[in-house]
Each structure stands twice: as structure tokens, then as C-alpha cells.
């Protein structure tokens, strides 16, 4: 950024503008494969600063076509969604006021860490149920903009279900409020002779004119973070129009979020977990059919490679378990050690977690589940207290342990979040892992939210190896071809970013992707916000920006 433009930027806002090498290097990365160095990092102090930032970029966009803004909260995005070669708008420093809870609604700024948000909601015995696995690291802006989900999404759904209102600054530099509208309220909005009115008129026209095609394009799975959710905005039956359902998951490409109101749910008092060990996946579809009608809060899985990892680095797991020292931890893992040495580790471990306020009801669900599973002969056990903690720890922590222990390889999230119909798991997962096994350059484990068919396969590889870089797009195309064939989604939680935007046309087809482009143009014709994500993304650009050093 030239000195004259930089000086004007500094005078534009009350907050901070940082162009030091140290800060630019930090904000060149998120949790993805990529490195994109910005020209400046801006820390806005308030909504007025955000408005002035947008006006500044709009003013200079013609002279500096690559000038743009990318909002960022905690920077935990795994797809390269929070990096940009122009200006990063970092909300963590000032947009982190303590959330307010009124009834079952919490109002939050984008820079609030989820861990701090939850501390406030728990004071009212309430929780935001679609928190992701990165709950200790992520922030609320990313949760909203990525349409996050996690281990409780099977019962509760994703973030899109809990957005009640948002405030955002759009490309004209003004802040607007979005919420669900009745048909009459929609007509009032469309009658406005303003930019807001134009957005409502054009979005209603785009959706209503292409309604049937959009409904057909909606992925036939319970979780999806790919593209813009145009099929969710206009509810023909209820006659409501809700642009928050478009905004959530839009990855900051339509404007900059300044506040969100989210619905909360009560925390249950009791829980029980059944653990099921499968030597193969031949009966997995039948087991899923038995489990889902019992309405578990979560239904998770991980493979034998994940369990082997926990056993290989047992001391680290023992410390994390904190269940009375190494001896007690050894007893907890002893059966798994015996199975490993005998070569009889299960191929897949299923965790079925029930939660409620009535312990008798939970016990009855466990009893019903066991009785219905008997004809299929899986090995099962009810896990309680420390045992439950053991299984959740393996599910949540194994990947981090693998990443930290294998020094010559690094995380390579590129097929890390696909979703399929749960009944297709037994067919699709072997097809995907067979592709990876052809390439020993990649180490991988398989874990996922089996209840809704959402799997996280995050290989580790030597990113400096030219062959690894060559294989990433080739493997992606093959895997996403399988996912598309089975009518799934290429991303259920982690969103498109740099890594998956180039594959949206493979998933949706040309016509729907043109509607995504039209949507972007309605909100952001000058491409001010987070360019290259959702629309306009290039595989060549992504591959050219894979990190060299870690």
C-alpha cells in the first residue's frame, strides 16, 4: 500500500492500522494450507469505523482495483476464508464486549471468543448448541459467517437455525439490520428507494424467478456450507423472507458483520453414552436406522487409525484425561491395548450420546438400543464418568496430537469436511480412503459426525514436496466427484474459502453458480468484501498460495 493511501487510511478510523512485518506475517495465515500476505491489518473500534472503512475502499476502488476488506475474528478457518492480499479487518481487539443474554436470546459482537460467550450463557443455564470443535479457539464472527456446526448438530442443527437478527455494514458504507420478514414487511422493504430496497427487490426477484431450480439444487443432506443458501431465504408456505439465512455461511463476502442475535437452548442435566465397536461396516446402515429414531444428542465416529494414535501416544492422553494418574489411565485403556496387540482393534468406533432431564428415559433408550442391536452382534458398552471422557478425548484430540507429533508433515485440509447420506457411509468412505491409500505421501485418520454423514479427513503431508502439491487438486477432484455422485456436499461445516470455491461448479453446475455470482453482485458489485471466496475463486490462485514454511 503506497504511503499516501496508508496515511489516509489511518486518518479514516479511530482504531488501529498496523503494517508491521510481524503483524502482516501473523495475518497471512489461518488454519488452512495457504499463505496470503495482506497490505495492512485494521482494528476498527466501533461500527462507525467499519462504515468508514467500507467508504474508504469504495472511494479508491477504481484507482486501486485490488483494494478490498476481509473480516476476521479468531482466524481458525481451515479453508483460507480469512486471508486476503489487501486489508484484513480484525474484530478481535475491540469488538469483544461481553455478550448480553435476554431470555433465550444472546447478542454478541464478532470478536467475542466462543469460550467467553459460553461463560455468559451458562449463567442462565443456556448454551449455543452449534459450536464447532475449535470451541476453545474460535470466535462468534467466524461461527456466524461460516455457519458452524459440531458434535451437537445432529439434534440441534447448525448456526443458520439460531440466527434471529444481524447487523452488518454493506458496500454503500451504511449499517443495516436483517431479520425474518412477513410478506407485508417484505413489500415495505422493496418499496424503499434506497440501496436496502434495491437489495430486497433484486434478491426477491432472483429467488422467485429461479425457485424450482434452487430447490432442486439444495443438497440432499442435513448439513451444507457450500455456496450461498438461496433456497433458505423465501419460505413460500409461511410467506416469510429472511436474508439472515443467506448471510449466515456467506463467509463475509456480502458485507461486514457487526452484531448478531442468537437463540440459545437449555443445558440438559443428565447424559448417557453407548459405545459400539464394529469389525467392519457391513451392518452400518442398519445400525444407523436403529440409532437415529432414538434421537441421540450426538452420534460420532472414528476409525482404528485414530485409536492406534491414542495408544501410540498414550502418555499425552493420560495427562489430558486427568483420571488419577498414569495407573488409572492405563486401566482405562487396557482393553484397547490388548486388542491392538492381538490385532483385533475395531475398524470403526461409534459414540452414541443421549442427553435429557429424565435419567430413566435415558436408561430406557440405552436398553432399547442394545436390544435392537443384538441381532447384528456388535460389541457394545455403556460408558460413564471417566470412561466417557476417554472416548470423547480420542474423538476430539487425536488429530491435534498427530499434527504435533509428526514433525516432518503438516496439516493439509483439502477434503476435510464432506457430507453424504449416512446410509451411503459404508460405500463412500472406503472409496475415499482407497484414493488416499494410493498416495503414501499422505497420512490420514477418519473421524466424523456419523449421524449426519459429515466426515473430517484431514491428511498430513510434507507440503514442500512438489508431488504433494500436484496431488492436492487431483485428489480433491476425484473425491468431490464421488460426493457429487452420491448427492452430498463438499463442505458441511468448514465452508468454501480458497480451497473449495473452485469446486462449487462441479457440485452445483453452471446455472446455480451463476446465481451465486448474481447474488454477490447485488450486494457487492465492486467486489469490496473477501474476494475469491464463494465466487471468482481460482484453483490456480489457491495452489500458488500454498504455504512454504510452517
236, with CB counted inside 10 A (0-12, 13-18, 19+), is exposed
| Predicted confidence (pLDDT) at residue 383 exceeds the cutoff of 90 | no
Supply φ then ψ for residue 106, to 5 degrees.
-115, 135
What's the pLDDT at 369? 93
Average pLDDT over residues 261-275: 93
SS in 3 state form for 396-445?
HHHHHHHHHHCCCCEECCCCCCEECCHHHHHHHHHHHHHHHHCCCCCECC
Segment holding 90, helix H or strand E: strand 87-90
Contact between 291 and 366 (Cβ < 8 Å) = no
What's the pLDDT at 492? 95
Supply φ then ψ for residue 525, to 5 degrees.
-60, -35
- Given pLDDT bands bounded at 50, 70 and 90, which one contains residue 387? low
The C-alpha atoms of residue 350 and residue 395 are separated, in whole angstroms, by 10
Q: Tens digit of pLDDT for each residue in 14-61?
A: 999 999 999 999 999 999 999 999 999 999 999 999 999 999 999 999
What's the pLDDT at 318? 63
Task: Transcribe 199-213 into DSSP letters.
Answer: HHHHHHHHHHHTHHH
Which of the 8 DSSP states describes residue 230?
A: G
What's the pLDDT at 490? 97
CA dihedral 157, 161, 167, 169 (to 10 degrees): 70
Q: What percent of the chain has pLDDT over 90?
A: 74
What's the pLDDT at 445? 82
If we measure between CA atoms, which residue out of 449, 545, 467, 549 comes closest to residue 501? 545
If we measure between CA atoms, which residue out of 100, 117, 121, 248 comes closest to residue 180? 248
The C-alpha atoms of residue 266 and residue 121 are separated, in whole angstroms, by 10
Contact between 391 and 383 (Cβ < 8 Å) = yes
What's the pLDDT at 328? 54
Decide which of 447 and 107 is more confident.
107
The C-alpha atoms of residue 422 and residue 288 are separated, in whole angstroms, by 7
What's the pLDDT at 134? 85
Contact between 66 and 117 (Cβ < 8 Å) = no
Q: Tens digit of pLDDT for each residue in 219-233?
A: 999 999 999 999 999
Average pLDDT over residues 91-111: 98
What's the pLDDT at 319? 67
The C-alpha atoms of residue 225 and residue 213 are separated, in whole angstroms, by 18
What's the pLDDT at 323? 54
What's the pLDDT at 411? 80
Average pLDDT over residues 433-457: 91
| Predicted confidence (pLDDT) at residue 311 exceeds the cutoff of 90 | no
Contact between 94 and 14 (Cβ < 8 Å) = no
Pairing of strands 87-90, 40-43: parallel
| Predicted confidence (pLDDT) at residue 388 exceeds the cutoff of 90 | no
| Predicted confidence (pLDDT) at residue 337 exceeds the cutoff of 60 | no
Q: Which domains does the chain have, with CATH numbers?
A: 3-94 (3.30.43.10), 101-266 (3.30.465.10), 270-485 (3.40.462.40)
| Predicted confidence (pLDDT) at residue 452 exceeds the cutoff of 70 | yes
Contact between 144 and 159 (Cβ < 8 Å) = yes
What's the pLDDT at 18? 98
Pairing of strands 100-102, 181-182: unpaired
* All residues at 6 or more sequence positions from 515 whose CB lies less than 8 Å from its CB, including other chains: 206, 210, 214, 228, 230
Out of 227-236, 327-336, 338-347, 485-494, least confident range: 327-336
Amino acid at each position: 500500500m503506497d504511503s499516501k493511501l496508508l496515511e489516509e487510511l489511518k486518518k479514516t478510523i479511530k482504531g488501529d492500522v498496523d503494517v508491521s512485518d510481524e503483524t502482516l506475517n501473523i495475518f497471512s495465515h489461518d488454519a488452512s494450507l495457504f499463505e496470503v500476505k495482506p497490505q495492512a491489518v485494521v482494528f476498527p473500534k466501533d461500527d462507525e469505523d467499519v462504515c468508514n472503512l467500507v467508504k474508504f475502499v469504495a472511494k479508491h476502488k477504481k484507482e486501486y482495483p485490488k483494494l478490498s476488506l476481509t473480516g476476521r475474528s479468531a482466524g481458525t478457518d481451515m479453508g483460507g476464508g480469512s486471508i486476503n492480499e489487501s486489508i484484513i479487518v480484525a474484530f478481535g481487539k475491540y469488538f469483544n464486549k461481553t455478550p448480553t443474554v435476554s431470555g433465550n436470546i444472546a447478542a454478541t459482537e464478532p470478536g467475542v471468543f466462543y469460550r467467553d460467550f459460553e461463560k455468559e450463557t451458562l449463567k442462565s443455564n443456556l448454551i449455543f448448541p452449534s459450536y464447532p470443535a475449535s470451541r476453545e479457539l474460535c470466535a462468534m464472527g467466524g461461527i456466524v459467517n461460516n455457519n458452524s456446526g459440531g458434535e451437537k448438530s445432529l439434534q440441534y442443527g447448525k448456526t443458520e437455525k439460531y440466527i434471529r437478527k444481524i447487523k452488518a455494514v454493506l458496500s454503500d458504507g451504511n449499517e443495516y439490520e436483517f431479520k425474518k420478514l412477513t410478506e407485508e414487511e417484505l413489500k415495505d422493504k422493496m418499496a424503499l428507494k434506497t440501496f436496502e430496497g434495491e437489495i430486497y427487490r433484486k434478491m426477491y426477484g432472483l429467488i422467485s424467478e429461479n425457485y424450482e431450480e434452487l430447490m432442486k439444487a439444495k443438497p440432499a443432506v442435513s448439513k451444507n456450507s457450500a455456496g450461498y443458501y438461496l433456497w433458505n431465504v423465501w419460505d413460500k408456505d409461511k410467506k416469510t423472507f429472511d436474508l439472515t439465512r443467506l448471510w449466515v455461511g456467506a463467509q463475509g463476502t456480502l458485507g461486514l458483520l457487526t452484531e448478531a442475535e442468537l437463540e440459545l437452548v437449555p443445558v440438559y442435566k443428565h447424559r448417557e453414552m453407548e459405545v459400539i465397536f464394529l469389525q467392519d461396516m457391513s451392518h452400518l446402515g442398519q445400525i444407523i436406522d436403529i440409532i437415529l429414531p432414538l434421537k441421540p444428542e450426538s452420534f460420532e465416529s472414528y476409525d482404528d487409525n485414530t485409536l492406534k494414535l491414542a495408544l501410540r501416544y498414550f502418555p499425552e492422553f493420560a495427562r489430558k484425561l486427568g483420571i488419577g494418574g498414569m495407573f488409572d489411565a492405563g486401566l482405562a485403556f487396557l482393553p484397547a491395548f490388548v486388542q491392538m496387540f492381538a490385532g483385533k482393534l475395531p475398524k470403526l468406533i461409534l459414540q452414541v450420546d443421549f442427553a435429557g432431564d429424565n435419567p430413566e428415559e435415558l436408561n430406557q433408550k440405552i436398553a432399547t438400543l442394545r436390544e435392537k442391536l443384538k441381532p447384528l452382534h456388535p460389541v457394545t458398552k455403556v460408558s460413564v464418568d471417566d470412561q466417557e471422557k476417554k472416548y470423547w478425548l480420542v474423538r476430539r484430540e487425536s488429530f491435534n496430537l498427530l499434527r504435533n507429533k509428526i514433525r516432518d508433515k503438516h496439516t493439509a485440509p483439502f477434503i476435510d469436511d464432506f457430507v453424504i447420506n449416512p446410509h451411503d457411509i459404508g460405500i463412500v468412505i472406503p472409496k475415499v480412503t482407497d484414493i488416499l491409500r494410493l498416495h503414501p505421501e499422505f497420512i490420514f485418520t477418519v473421524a466424523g459426525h456419523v449421524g449426519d454423514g459429515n466426515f473430517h479427513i484431514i491428511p498430513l503431508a510434507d507440503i514442500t514436496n512438489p508431488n504433494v502439491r500436484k496431488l492436492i487438486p487431483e485428489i480433491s477432484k476425484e473425491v468431490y466427484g464421488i460426493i457429487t455422485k452420491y448427492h452430498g456436499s463438499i463442505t458441511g461445516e468448514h465452508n468454501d474459502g480458497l480451497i473449495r470455491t473452485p469446486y462449487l461448479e462441479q457440485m452445483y453446475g453452471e446455472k446455480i453458480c451463476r446465481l451465486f455470482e448474481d447474488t454477490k453482485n447485488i450486494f457487492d458489485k465492486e467486489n469490496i468484501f473477501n474476494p475469491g471466496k464463494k465466487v471468482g475463486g481460482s484453483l490456480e490462485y489457491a495452489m500458488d498460495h500454498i504455504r512454504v514454511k510452517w
